Amino acid sequence: MSSIQIENKSAETETDLKELAQDIVQRAMQGGATAAECVIREGDEFSTLVRLGEVETLKESGSKSIGVRIFHGQRAASTHSSDFTRAGLDRMLSSALELAKITSEDPFSGIPEPSQLGSISGDLDLYSADVYSLPGEERISYARRAEKAALESDPRIKNSEGGSFDAATGHKILANSHGFVGEYRRSYCSVAAIPIAQDEKGGMQRDYWFSVARSLNRLESPEQVGKVAAQRTIRRLGARKVKTQQVPIIFDPLVANSILGHIFEGVNGDSVYRGASFLAGKLGEKIAAPQVTVIDDGTMVGGFGTSPFDGEGIPTRRTVVIENGVLTSYVLNTYTAKKLGFQTTANASRGLAGTPGIGPGNYFLQPGTKTPQQIIGNVKEGLYVTEFLGMGVNLVTGDYSRGASGLWISGGELSYPVEEITVAGNLKDMFLNISEIANDLEFRGSVASPTIRIDGLTVGGE
């Protein structure tokens, strides 16, 4: 296989896109907008999947798209396009101006104040060209090595959904009519393995493991990834159901992550101002156990959730969301901050279309001091959850009910695998009942949690 040539985006292209974004904003203003914002995104992606040693897919491409959001007084509208021809851009602009005629006057709408705009300075270490530095054969070899390590680590690993290697780079430009213009690039690469194990009765189990990094240098070895994937898969073989009961539950970091995510959704300004969250109006109140401190930090060097400015051009920052169990801040963009009478926390997330949403920077639960083994060791009978199935979460009521699988804890040790069970409770109680937080915080994405223990949940089974 020959290596694939990636087109190098020259510095000239960069300037062009910044100028283009500013030009679009200017033309929107000339067309009658009272405020405007333009975003351009371009990116390249490469991915390969190797299954049972053979290349199964190889995908490579680049794309570029543009979006504009305009205001006509207090009315807003947005349009987007992948057509960068003069005619395509004209059409995008005129549609936006037309569309703004039919939306409603919203007293809280608008772009941020000029004084709020800016970028954090310094090298945030978000981009490394090395994600594309490997020749084609080497990339495939990463995927192949991960799968091979999984297949070779145990005779019961008999099949596989493959090993994969992915790389991507993205470039984002934002400009608005208060004169803000900013851009940043981010890169990403990952290696993963999804082995399938089979027991003597023919029962199959699948699990996975992965490593992800902004630079190839920081990626874990494919062998390590494959080995962990195999261990995670093998330990699920022979899983059984358990009786319906209430026991302490330990959540491994990947699943604890999703519970932490519910806190983010619950304190998201959008859910808060419309009362669509059981955490609305709880600022200053105790909503979690005293050892719970949750932070959102969009400024961490090299972080997966780091950017110099948010989706509205506001410098990112560090926000303590929960301090020692007390809710200290909602997470906000400009609109929801105005609605609630606060300052934005620079959490605006912006796709090409529509109004900005709210998304995390690097959002995490502060680790404790015990090891996960110590925490498991303190549980006589309990459940260690390693995977959730389904989305049974209701933020309005806090009702929580999800499919789960994992391992049963007996006498402080992981004893046998369990599956086809549910874990149910209410998030209000769950956050308050986080009784242990381990020391194993590790970022494998923009949201990260250590292992946690929660008491009082119902395990549904036989």
Rule CB under 8 A: choose which of 231, 399, 435, 445 binds another protein. Answer: 399
User: Residue 83, Cβ neighbours under 10 Å: how many?
Assistant: 12
Q: What percent of the chain is helix, strand and coil (3-state, nearest 5)?
A: 25, 35, 40
Rule CB under 8 A: choose which of 24, 28, 38, 76 binds another protein. Answer: 76
The 431-460 site mask, x for binding another protein (CB under 8 A), equals ---------------------------xxx
Would you state the structure tokens that stand for residue 460, as one six-digit string?
Answer: 């549904």
The H or E element that residue 43 is part of is strand 35-51
Would you state the structure tokens that stand for residue 327, as one six-digit string?
Answer: 């809710």
Residue for token digits 């695998």?
A: 417
126 binds another protein (CB under 8 A): no
- Name residues contacting another protein, limited to 214-243 (CB under 8 A): 236, 239, 241
- Name residues contacting another protein, limited to 271-310 (CB under 8 A): 274-276, 278
> Taking the alpha carbons of 289, 385, 415, 242 in that order, is the dihedral positive or negative?
positive
Which CB sits closer to another protein, 30 or 244? 244
34 binds another protein (CB under 8 A): no
Q: How far is the CB of 279 from another protein (least distance, A)?
A: 12
Q: How far is the CB of 395 from another protein (least distance, A)?
A: 8
Rule CB under 8 A: choose which of 26, 103, 258, 349 binds another protein. Answer: 103
Q: Is 144 exposed, middle or buried (0-12, 13-18, 19+ CB in 10 A)?
A: buried
The 150-169 site mask, x for binding another protein (CB under 8 A), equals ---------x-x--------
Pick the stretch among 99-107, 147-155, 165-173, 281-289 that binds another protein (CB under 8 A).
Answer: 99-107
Q: Is 175 exposed, middle or buried (0-12, 13-18, 19+ CB in 10 A)?
A: buried
**176 DSSP β-pair partners:** 37
Q: How far is the CB of 317 from another protein (least distance, A)?
A: 26
Which CB sits closer to another protein, 301 or 396? 396
Rule CB under 8 A: choose which of 8, 10, 87, 102 binds another protein. Answer: 102
- Measure the CA–CA gap between 318 and 315, rounded to whole angstroms: 10
**What's the angle, vertex CA 389, arms to CA 383 and CA 393, rounded to 5?**
95
DSSP codes, 117-172: -----S------GGGGTS-HHHHHHHHHHHHHHHHHS-TTEEEEEEEEEEEEEEEE
> Taking the alpha carbons of 2, 152, 222, 43 in that order, is the dihedral positive or negative?
positive
The 357-396 site mask, x for binding another protein (CB under 8 A), equals ------------------------------x-xxxx-x-x
- Measure the CA–CA gap between 326 and 318, rounded to whole angstroms: 17
DSSP codes, 192-242: EEEEEEE-TT--EEE--EEEEESSGGGSPPHHHHHHHHHHHHHTTTT-B--
4 binds another protein (CB under 8 A): yes
Which CB sits closer to another protein, 179 or 281? 281
Which CB sits closer to another protein, 208 or 364? 208
Q: How far is the CB of 55 from another protein (least distance, A)?
A: 5
- The site for another protein, by CB under 8 A, has a size of 87
Which CB sits closer to another protein, 404 or 437? 404
258 binds another protein (CB under 8 A): no
336 binds another protein (CB under 8 A): no
Which CB sits closer to another protein, 308 or 382? 382
Rule CB under 8 A: choose which of 20, 29, 55, 441 binds another protein. Answer: 55
Contact status, residue 272 vs residue 278, Cβ threshold 8 Å: no
Side chain identity at 391, as an amino acid letter? M
Rule CB under 8 A: choose which of 419, 436, 440, 455 binds another protein. Answer: 419
Rule CB under 8 A: choose which of 80, 139, 235, 350 binds another protein. Answer: 80
320 binds another protein (CB under 8 A): no
Pick the stretch among 169-177, 217-225, 314-322, 399-407 that binds another protein (CB under 8 A).
Answer: 399-407
Contact status, residue 155 vs residue 235, Cβ threshold 8 Å: no
Pick the stretch among 196-204, 283-291, 303-311, 378-386 that binds another protein (CB under 8 A).
Answer: 196-204
Would you state the structure tokens that stand for residue 35, as one six-digit string?
Answer: 């405020």
